[in-house]
Amino acid sequence: MKKSEVHKMSDAEMTEEVARLRKQLFELKCQAVTEKIENPRQLGNIKRDIARILTEQRQRQLQESK
């Protein structure tokens, strides 16, 4: 997910996407413990996507407060 894609999302979409990504991250972590995962880089990519979305949400909050 690119920054431009995140920037186009609405607040509700971002909240839903963070929830979906956190669930996916949890499932991948569980899978990594019990068996070998196909692409270990998925964990980092999901964490990065979550961080991008949370950063955009925080920037919007700060803009609203000004």
The predicted model gives 21-26 an average pLDDT of 97
Which CATH number among 1.10.287, 3.30.70, 3.10.450, 1.10.10 corresponds to the domain 3-65?
A: 1.10.287
Residue 7: pLDDT above 90?
no
User: Quick one: which of 41, 15, 16 has its CA closest to 28?
Assistant: 41
Q: Report residue 40: phi and psi, to 5°.
A: -65, -20
Question: Half-sphere exposure (CA, 13 Å, Cβ side) for 9?
Answer: 21
- Looking at the chain, how many residues does it have? 66
pTM of the model: 0.89
State how far the Cα of 47 lies from the Cα of 22, in Å rounded to an integer. Answer: 8
The predicted model gives 42-61 an average pLDDT of 95
State how far the Cα of 13 lies from the Cα of 63, in Å rounded to an integer. Answer: 19
